[in-house]
């Protein structure tokens, strides 16, 4: 009899949690008290066509030499001026040939993180933007199905320069919609890492190295050695879709992976939460450990955009129980 009562109470609590929409926390078997998690405020800016090749070329970029020769970080020079930078690209003043009239140049983002023995929890909040019809898309929407997408790349120090440049290690001059994208029907070049190519042209056109992929055996070895950027993504369409993957020779993303997202509009803001096992035990999933810090790059595609028409963070440190711009505190 007592057993039955306890079971019913448990079921009652679960049903209650479902009704309250505590989906992701329930899936991980616990509720995070976000009020207790420190909040990081950062600025996502519109990057235009600032590729891995562009940032390292002196005639293009004022910070090229300090970045390549002196080991400086992007955030070290730009963290305080991201909003001003975004304005230059979004208005077409610099490295952005397709201007979306009225589009915002930056998005303020609030990030919180927490962890326990086996799971990382994150919470992202940013203001929903106005709709500005994109001139390069039918109906003004490049991705009609998804009002927003939120993605995060994670580096644990194994990808060259990613600890200083975040996403830029994966963004190339010959990727989709970039200046040197190959003009071949049906060919879409996604993100890739320099480590997956035999050569990358930094200065001579075409810049990049999309067609210089290393042999499959080398790529397998790189994946096993952890030479990849972990990638997770939330899509707001179809009631919310969670994707998980990585970037090495190309961008790999699939559903049913380690990251579970939930997102909704609360008033004027989007709130997206994520749970992810610290050690998912799958190839392409970084093993995260307490006491360590990771470099993350966060991107938001707002207002139905795709490709480079997103807002991105500079390199951010996520510390699990240790220092970082984003401090995940144990709960």
Instruction: Using CB positions, name the residue nearest to ligand HEC.
Output: 63
Query: In this structure, what token pair is assigned to residue 84?
Result: 């001003």
Pick 100 or 252: Cβ nearer ligand HEC = 100
CA distance 24 to 127: 21
Which residues, other chains included, contact 158 with Cβ-Cβ below 8 Å and sequence gap of 6+?
A: 225, 226, 227, 228
CA distance 245 to 199: 24
Q: Tell which residue, 224, 260, 239, has the closest CA to residue 120.
A: 260
Q: Is residue 74 part of the contact set for ligand HEC (CB under 6 A)?
A: yes
Q: Is residue 87 part of the contact set for ligand HEC (CB under 6 A)?
A: no
Q: Is residue 121 part of the contact set for ligand HEC (CB under 6 A)?
A: no
Query: In this structure, what token pair is assigned to residue 236?
Result: 């707001």
Stretch that binds ligand HEC, among 60-68, 235-243, 253-261, 289-297 (CB under 6 A): 60-68
Closest CB 105 distance from ligand HEC, rounded Å = 10
Half-sphere exposure of 153 (CA within 13 A, CB side): 29
Which ranges in the chain belong to alpha helices (H)?
A: 2-20, 23-27, 52-55, 64-69, 74-78, 82-90, 162-165, 216-225
Map the footprint of ligand HEC across residues 250-289, applying CB under 6 A: none
Pick the binder of ligand HEC from 37, 85, 318, 328 (CB under 6 A).
85
Which ranges in 49-175 belong to alpha helices (H)?
A: 52-55, 64-69, 74-78, 82-90, 162-165
First to last CA, the chain: 34
Stretch that binds ligand HEC, among 12-20, 66-74, 258-266, 279-287 (CB under 6 A): 66-74
Q: Is residue 50 part of the contact set for ligand HEC (CB under 6 A)?
A: yes
Stretch that binds ligand HEC, among 65-73, 102-110, 118-126, 246-254 (CB under 6 A): 65-73
Closest CB 157 distance from ligand HEC, rounded Å = 16
Distance of CA 49 to the CA centre of its chain: 17
Pick 166 or 284: Cβ nearer ligand HEC = 166
Map the footprint of ligand HEC across residues 159-178, applying CB under 6 A: 165, 168
Pick the binder of ligand HEC from 32, 55, 154, 325 (CB under 6 A).
55
Closest CB 76 distance from ligand HEC, rounded Å = 6
Pick 72 or 218: Cβ nearer ligand HEC = 72
DSSP state of 15: H
Q: Is residue 193 part of the contact set for ligand HEC (CB under 6 A)?
A: no
What residues line the site for ligand HEC (CB under 6 A)? 47, 50, 55, 61-63, 66-67, 72, 74, 76-78, 85, 88, 94, 165, 168
């Amino acid at each position: 009899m007592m057993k039955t009562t306890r079971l019913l109470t448990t079921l009652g609590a679960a049903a209650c949690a479902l009704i309250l929409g505590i989906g992701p926390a329930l899936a991980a078997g616990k509720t995070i008290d976000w009020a207790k998690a420190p909040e990081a405020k950062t600025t996502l800016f519109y990057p235009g066509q600032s590729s891995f090749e562009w940032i390292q070329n002196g005639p293009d970029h004022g910070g090229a030499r300090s970045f390549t020769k002196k080991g400086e970080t992007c955030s070290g020079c730009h963290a305080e001026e991201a909003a001003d930078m975004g304005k230059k690209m979004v208005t077409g003043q610099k490295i952005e040939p397709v201007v979306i009239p009225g589009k915002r140049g930056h998005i303020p983002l609030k990030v919180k993180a927490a962890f326990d023995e086996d799971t990382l929890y994150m919470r992202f909040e940013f203001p929903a933007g106005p709709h500005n019809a994109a001139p390069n898309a039918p109906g003004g929407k490049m991705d009609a199905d998804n009002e927003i997408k939120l993605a995060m790349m994670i580096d644990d120090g194994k990808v060259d320069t990613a600890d200083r440049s975040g996403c830029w290690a994966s963004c190339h001059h010959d990727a989709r919609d970039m200046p040197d994208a190959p003009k071949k029907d049906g060919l879409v070049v996604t993100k890739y890492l320099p480590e997956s190519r035999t050569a990358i042209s930094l200065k001579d056109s075409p810049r990049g190295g999309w067609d210089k992929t290393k042999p499959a055996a080398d790529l397998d070895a790189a994946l096993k050695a952890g030479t990849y950027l972990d990638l997770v993504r939330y899509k707001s369409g179809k009631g919310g879709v969670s994707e998980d993957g990585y970037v090495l020779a190309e961008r790999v993303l699939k559903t049913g992976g380690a990251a579970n997202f939930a997102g909704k509009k609360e008033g004027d803001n989007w709130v997206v939460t994520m749970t992810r096992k610290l050690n998912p035990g799958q190839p392409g999933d970084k093993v995260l450990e307490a006491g360590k810090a990771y470099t993350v790059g966060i991107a938001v595609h707002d207002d139905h955009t795709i490709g480079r028409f997103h807002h991105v963070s500079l390199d951010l440190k996520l510390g699990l129980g240790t220092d970082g711009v984003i401090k995940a505190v144990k709960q």
